[in-house]
Amino acid sequence: MKSAIRTLGAFSTLLVPGLAVPLPQAPEPLPATAKPPGPPGASGVLRAGPSLIGYGQPFQAEQTSGSTVVPPYEFGLAPGQSEDPELGLYLDLSNVRNPQPIRGGAKSPTDPGPRNYDYDRLNSDLFAPPATDSGDIPNAKWPFGLSHNRHGLRSAGWARQQNTDQLPVAKAMAGVNMRLEPYAYLELHWHSQGEWSLMLNGSVRLASSNEAGEAFIDDLQAGDVWFFPSGIPHSIQALEAGCEFLLVFDSGSFSEDTTFLVSELFEGNPREVLAKNFRTSTASFSNLPHGQLYIFPGSPPGNITSQNSTGPAGIIPPERSYSYHWSLQEPYRVPGGTVKILDPLSFPIADNFAVALFSIDPGAMREMHWHTTSDEWNYFLAGQARVTVFDVPEASRTFDFQAGDVGYIPVPDAHYVECVSDVPCVYLEVLLADMYNDISVAQWLGLTPRQVVRDTLMLSEDVLDRLPKVKPFIFPGSTNHTRTNYTVDVV
Ligand SMILES: *[C@@H]1O[C@H](CO)[C@@H](O)[C@H](O)[C@H]1NC(C)=O
Ligand SMILES: *[C@@H]1O[C@H](CO)[C@@H](O)[C@H](O)[C@H]1NC(C)=O
Ligand SMILES: *[C@@H]1O[C@H](CO)[C@@H](O)[C@H](O)[C@H]1NC(C)=O
Ligand SMILES: *[C@@H]1O[C@H](CO)[C@@H](O)[C@H](O)[C@H]1NC(C)=O
Ligand SMILES: *[C@@H]1O[C@H](CO)[C@@H](O)[C@H](O)[C@H]1NC(C)=O
C-alpha cells in the first residue's frame, strides 16, 4: 500500500480517504550492511549484517585466540589465599600483584579481564568470597565516593547523598554527607523527616525555634550530634574552621531535593502576601534570591551571646535541646575497643534514633549479633572492616567497608564487624528505636542451658566454659590474618 501511494505521488490524497496532505517522498531504506554517511576519515564496518549469524561460519573457536589462563608467575597471592576456603580468612589484596579470585588453591580460578583492579582489591570478600557465603543477600554497601556531589554556590561546599536510588535495601534510613567551607551556610530550611546528624570535622553554629516559640542556639564540634524533629526549621552555619557532617534521615527515600528552603518559600508566594505577612511594601522583596541558595558563602557570625535571639517563651529547655555534646563523653572500654551509645535515654528529643559509635582495634571484632526491632544504617569513619550479613533462608554474604562507606543491614539479620586494617575501625550503628539494643550470639548461648548448646552445636566442654554471661560487645583479635586459634586472646 505504502509503495503504491509513493508512486502515485500527489494523487495519493485522492485515493486515501481522510489523508489531507500529500506524503513526502521517503528514501529507499539502506541495506543493513551499507556504509552510513560518517565523519571524514571514518572507515571500517559499522554492522556486519546477518551473514555472521551462528552456524553459518565453520571455524574452531579455540584456535582464534590464545589461552585465557593467567599463569601463576603473573600474579601474587595474599597470606591465607590458599588456605581452606571454609576458614574464610580475610584476604588483604591491597599490595598483591595482579590479584586473582583464588580461595583455597594456588592456580585458579583466575581473572584474565577486563577488570578494575582497585575494586577487586577493596572488595576481596566479594571477589574471592569465603566458602561459607551462600545464596542471595541484597547489596549492603554504598561508598559516598560513588554518589554525585552537588556543589553549592561560589565554592561554598558540597553535599552527596545515599538513598534507595543508590542502595535499594535501605528502606528505613538515608544519609547525606555535607561540607561547608568556613562561614558557609546550609540555607534556612525544614523537612518532613527527622534529621539526626554527627559532626565529622570542624565546628558549626545551629539555631532553631519550635512551635511554642522557644529558641535554640548552640555551637557544635567534631563528634557532637544534633537532631531536628520533622518540620522544625533550622539554621546551619560553619564557623571559622569550616565543617563536614553526616545527616541520617528516618526514611530511605529521603532526598536533599525534598528540603523546604526559605528562598523557595519566598519565591513561590505572591509579593502582596509577603508584604502583608512581613508588614512592609512589595518593594522590600526586589532583591530576593532567584532560585534556591542551598549551600552558599556567608559572613563571620558574632559570638553566640550576641546571636542569642530569645522571645518571651524563652529557650528550649535542656531536656528537649536539639544538640548533644557527644564529643565530651568518655567511651565505654572493653577488650578490643570502645563503644559509646546515644539514644533517647540520654538525648530525648531524638526519640527514635538509637546510635552506637564503635572503635574496634586492629584485628578485633564487633561480636556476632543482631538487632531486634530496627534495620541498621552504618557509616564508616576510619579503617577497613568486613561484615557478613546472614539472612534466611540460608543466605550469607561478606562485604568489605572502608572509611566513607555506608552500610545497611536489615532487621533481624545477624552480622559482625571485623576490623581488618592496621588502624582502628571507627563506625556508626544507627537504629530507629527508643533504646539501643542488640542480641549477642555469645551471651545468648552463654545463657542457654549448657546441655542444649552441647547437643546442638557439638561444642567441647572448654568452649562451653568460655561462653559469656555478660555482653562482650567486642572481641579482641590479631592483625595476623591467617591466625585461627583464639583460645587465648591475642591483641
Ligand atoms: C579534619 O580536617 C583536617 C583538614 O583536612 C584533617 O587534617 C583531619 O584529619 C580531619 N579530621 C578528621 C577527624 O577526619
Ligand atoms: C559578644 O559580642 C558582643 C557584641 O559584639 C560584645 O559586646 C560582647 O563583649 C561579646 N562577648 C564575648 C564573650 O566575647
Ligand atoms: C540565650 O539567652 C537565654 C536567656 O534569654 C539564656 O538562658 C541562654 O543560656 C542563652 N544561650 C546562650 C547560648 O548564650
Ligand atoms: C600468623 O599466624 C599463623 C598461624 O598461627 C602463623 O603460622 C604465622 O607465623 C603468623 N604470622 C606472623 C607474621 O606472625
Ligand atoms: C589453641 O591454643 C591453645 C592455647 O594456646 C592451645 O592449648 C590449643 O592446643 C590450640 N588449639 C589448636 C587446635 O591448636
pLDDT in tens, 326-374: 999 999 999 999 999 999 999 999 999 999 999 999 999 999 999 999 9
Atom of ligand 3 at shortest range from CA of 217? 13
Domain boundary at 105, 132, 159, which?
132
Q: Which ligand is nearest to the CA of 302?
A: 2
Confirm whether residue 191 is marked as ligand binding: yes
What's the sign of the alpha-carbon dihedral 157, 163, 166, 169? Answer: positive
Helices and strands, counts by H and E, the chain: 9, 24
Do 351 and 301 have their domain in common? Answer: no
What's the sign of the alpha-carbon dihedral 420, 426, 430, 434? Answer: positive
Tell me, what amino acid is at 262? V
| Domain presence at residue 62 | no
Q: For residue 407, give the CATH number of its domain.
A: 2.60.120.10
| Average pLDDT for 394-418 | 98
Do 82 and 187 have their domain in common? Answer: no
Question: Residue 126 in contact with residue 400, Cβ under 8 Å?
Answer: yes
Do 317 and 434 have their domain in common? Answer: no
Instruction: Among 461, 462, 485, say which to mutate for ligand 5: greatest number of ligand atoms within 8 Å of CB.
Output: 485
Instruction: Among 217, 304, 306, say which to mutate for ligand 2: greatest number of ligand atoms within 8 Å of CB.
Output: 306
Reduced to 3 states (helix: H, G, I; strand: E, B; else coil), residue 341 is: strand
**Cα 308 to middle of ligand 2, angstroms:** 11
Confirm whether residue 371 is marked as ligand binding: yes
| Domain presence at residue 68 | no
* Summary mean pLDDT of the chain: 92
Do 338 and 312 have their domain in common? Answer: no
Could you tell me the three cell numbers for 310?
530569645
Question: Residue 165 in contact with residue 254, Cβ under 8 Å?
Answer: no
Do 350 and 440 have their domain in common? Answer: yes
**Cα 201 to middle of ligand 1, angstroms:** 6
| Domain presence at residue 52 | no
Domain that holds residue 219: 148-259+294-324
CA distances to 77, 133, 419, 433, 435 from 345, rounded to whole Å, are 49, 38, 29, 11, 7
Nearest C-alpha neighbor of 371 from the set 320, 422, 325, 430: 430
| Domain presence at residue 191 | yes
Residue showing cell 527527622:
194
| Domain presence at residue 398 | yes
Do 190 and 127 have their domain in common? Answer: no
Do 366 and 410 have their domain in common? Answer: yes
Do 106 and 234 have their domain in common? Answer: no
Total number of domains constituting the chain: 4
Confirm whether residue 415 is marked as ligand binding: yes
**Cα 253 to middle of ligand 4, angstroms:** 47
Q: What is the DSSP letter of 130?
A: -
| Domain presence at residue 350 | yes
pLDDT in tens, 260-269: 999 999 999 9
Question: Residue 159 in contact with residue 179, Cβ under 8 Å?
Answer: yes
Q: Which ligand is nearest to the CA of 300?
A: 2
* Rounded Cα gap, residues 491 and 478, in angstroms: 6
Do 113 and 155 have their domain in common? Answer: no
Q: Which ligand is nearest to the CA of 304?
A: 3
Instruction: List the residue whose alpha carbon is closest to atom 5 of ligand 1.
Output: 201
| Domain presence at residue 65 | no
Check residue 9 and give its pLDDT.
Answer: 40
Do 127 and 154 have their domain in common? Answer: no
pLDDT band at 8 (very low <50, low <70, confident <90, very high): very low
CA distances to 30, 35, 37, 50, 244 from 43, rounded to whole Å, are 18, 9, 10, 20, 52
| Domain presence at residue 66 | no
Strand partners, 209: 215
The strand ranges marked E within 265-331 are 295-296, 323-324
By CB atoms closer than 10 A (0-12, 13-18, 19+), residue 315 is: middle
Question: Residue 381 in contact with residue 200, Cβ under 8 Å?
Answer: yes
Residues 6 or more apart in contact with residue 15 via CB below 8 angstroms: 5, 8
Confirm whether residue 481 is marked as ligand binding: no
Backbone angles phi, psi at 285, to 5 degrees: -105, 15
Catalytic residue annotation: 429
Do 339 and 385 have their domain in common? Answer: yes
Check residue 51 and give its pLDDT.
Answer: 87
Check residue 490 and give its pLDDT.
Answer: 41
Do 299 and 201 have their domain in common? Answer: yes
Residue 306 beta carbon below 6 angstroms from any ligand 2 atom: yes
Check residue 54 and give its pLDDT.
Answer: 86
pLDDT in tens, 295-327: 999 999 999 999 999 999 999 999 999 999 999
Q: Is the pLDDT of residue 414 over 80?
A: yes
Instruction: List the residue whose alpha carbon is closest to atom 9 of ligand 1.
Output: 201
